[in-house]
Amino acid sequence: MNEWVIVVAKSLLILLVVITTFAYSMLFERKIMGWMQMRWGPNRVGPWGLMQPAADAAKMMFKEDLTPRTADPIIYRLAPFISLICAMGVYAVIPFSETSSGSLWSVSDVNAGILFVFALTSMGVYGISLAGWSSGSKFPLLGSVRATAQMISYELAMTMSVIGVLILAQTTSLRGIVHAQYGLWFIVPQLLGFFIYLITAVAETNRAPFDLVEAETELVAGFHTEYSGLRFGLFFIAEYLNMITVSCLATLLFLGGWNAPFGLTMVPGLVWFVLKAALFLFLYIWLRATLPRIRYDRLMALGWKVLLPLATLNLIVTAVVVALLPPR
* Residue 101 lies near another protein (rule: CB under 8 A): no
Nearer to another protein, 50 or 306 (CB): 306
* Residue 291 lies near another protein (rule: CB under 8 A): yes
Looking at 38, 266, 323, 324, which residue binds another protein (CB under 8 A)?
A: 38
Looking at 170, 290, 317, 320, which residue binds another protein (CB under 8 A)?
A: 290
- The DSSP letter of residue 190 is T
Angle at 189 between CA 186 and CA 195, to 5 degrees: 75
Nearest of 213, 273, 253 to residue 83 by alpha carbon:
213
* Residue 63 lies near another protein (rule: CB under 8 A): no
Nearer to another protein, 36 or 149 (CB): 36
Looking at 37, 100, 101, 217, which residue binds another protein (CB under 8 A)?
A: 37
d(CA 318, CA 163): 9
Nearer to another protein, 183 or 292 (CB): 292
Instruction: Go through 221-236 and write b for each residue having 16 or more CB atoms within 10 A of its CB, e for each that does not.
Output: bbbbbbbeebbbbbbb
- Contact stretch for another protein (CB under 8 A) within 86-94, 105-113, 289-297, 319-327: 289-297
Instruction: Go through 96-113 and write b for each residue having 16 or more CB atoms within 10 A of its CB, e for each that does not.
Output: bbbeeeeebbbbeebeeb
- Contact stretch for another protein (CB under 8 A) within 31-39, 72-80, 99-107, 230-238: 31-39
Nearer to another protein, 117 or 307 (CB): 307
d(CA 319, CA 225): 44
Cis ω for the linkage preceding 209 (within 30 of 0): yes
DSSP symbols for 40-66: --S-SSSGGGTTHHHHHHHHHHHS---
Site string for another protein, 267-286 (x = CB under 8 A): -------------------x
228, 286, 116, 75: CA torsion to nearest 10: 10
Tell me how many residues contact another protein (CB under 8 A): 16
Q: Are 95 and 114 in contact (CB under 8 A)?
A: no
d(CA 115, CA 174): 10
Nearer to another protein, 188 or 291 (CB): 291
Looking at 8, 17, 39, 319, which residue binds another protein (CB under 8 A)?
A: 39
* Residue 32 lies near another protein (rule: CB under 8 A): yes
Nearer to another protein, 177 or 299 (CB): 299
Q: How far is the CB of 36 from another protein (least distance, A)?
A: 4
Q: How far is the CB of 38 from another protein (least distance, A)?
A: 5
Site string for another protein, 295-314 (x = CB under 8 A): ---x--xx---x--------
Task: List contacts with another protein (CB under 8 A).
Answer: 32, 35-40, 43, 286, 289-291, 298, 301-302, 306
